[in-house]
Amino acid sequence: MPKGQLKKPNHDKVPGKHAVNNKPLTEESGASERASSSQRDTEGQRDEGNMANLDVILRELREFRQENGEQLRDIREDINKTNNRIDEAEERIAEAEARLESVEGAVSELLKLQTHMEARLTDQEGRSRRENIRIHGVCEGAEENLPSVISFVETLLKENLELPPSSDLKIERAHRALGTKPPADAPPRSIVVKFASHRTKEEIIKTAWQKRGFVYKERKVNLDHDYSPEVLKNAKNMWRQNGRYPNLRLGGGGNQGYGGKGFAGKGVQAPGDVGGDDQAAELEHSFPGETPASRTGFKEKLEIFRRSERL
């Protein structure tokens, strides 16, 4: 071999260092490629899973939106129905209030008419009692020995008022006051006497009051007008307020009783133990549910109703 010529290495014959290390490099690169491929597959699968999840979420969102839309439509319909019912209720309440006002006005007018009619009725009742007197203090059963109560009353008045035996008292009817017979220890019922002549009745009561009554069978007997229950109620209220009875009238425009200056201005006054008190007590005892005070319940209820409406 010439001196300056170099000898080429024979790699086939003598394996070199690089030839020895080539196989490990190839294995590492393959493993890296496989790892990267596996990573890519995993990432692809993850991306596919994410896309599937997004599709599910979008589908659920669409379903949720659809359900919400249907629910909102139902809510709107319910609100509209409620508003319509409220409008209808307001109209009906307004109509009811208008009717209530008209009814209250009508009731107020009816109360005025009732008050007027009660006054007229009291006046008419008083006028119908003008020829009547009540005899208080005659014991129960005293009239049983005579044919009738009229005969008993005629005898009683003529003997005790010193009337002429031949005088005609013109008594049309006479009877005990209505109601159950009281016990023996209770005050007796009064005797109601109706005269045919108003003049005769006035003379009888004038004479009785001048004598301030009389005694019959050891009992004090007094005569008085036959007052209506309403007049007795007013007299009783005046007694409670002032301690004395007012000048009573048989009716709203009827004749005057004998309190005060008395009969025809002659100074004839009623005895102190005569008057509406006995008659009122007898009325309340005999008819506890028929007194005029029991007719005021409707007015009181109406006043309570009006006060509650103002609150």
Q: What is the pLDDT of residues 41-59, one digit of tens each?
A: 676 667 676 777 888 888 8
Give the start-to-end residue ranges of the domains of the chain.
129-294
DSSP letter assigned to residue 180: P
In contact, 122 and 231? CB cutoff 8 Å: yes
Mean pLDDT across 123-131: 90
Q: What are phi and psi of 53, to 5 degrees?
A: -65, -40
Neighbouring residues of 98: CB distance < 8 A, sequence distance ≥ 6: none
Residues 129, 250: Cα–Cα separation, whole Å: 7
The tens digit of pLDDT for each residue in 203-236 reads 999 999 999 999 998 889 999 999 888 888 887 7
Q: Is the pLDDT of residue 122 over 90?
A: no
39, two tokens: 């990573």
User: Is the pLDDT score of 65 beyond 80?
Assistant: yes
Least confident stretch, 7-16, 52-61, 160-169, 179-188: 7-16
Q: Residue 40: in which H helix or E strand, if any?
A: helix 17-128
Answer for the pair 232, 280: CB distance below 8 angstroms, yes or no: yes
268 DSSP 8-state letter:
-
Distance of CA 145 to the CA centre of its chain: 55
Higher-confidence position of 193 and 295: 193
Residue 47 CA to residue 51 CA, distance in Å, equals 6
Interval 69-91 mean pLDDT: 90
pLDDT at 62: 83
End-to-end CA distance of the chain: 140
Residue 224 neighbours by CB under 8 Å, 6+ apart: 133, 134, 136, 205, 270, 274, 275, 276, 278, 279
DSSP-H helix ranges across 129-179? 149-160
- 27-36, 179-188, 268-277: range with highest mean pLDDT: 179-188
pLDDT tens for each residue of 269-304: 444 444 444 555 555 544 444 444 444 455 565 666
Decide if pLDDT at 16 tops 80: no
Provide the mean pLDDT of the chain. 75
pLDDT of residue 79: 92
Fold of 129-294: Alpha-Beta Plaits (3.30.70)
Highest mean pLDDT among 7-16, 22-31, 60-69: 60-69
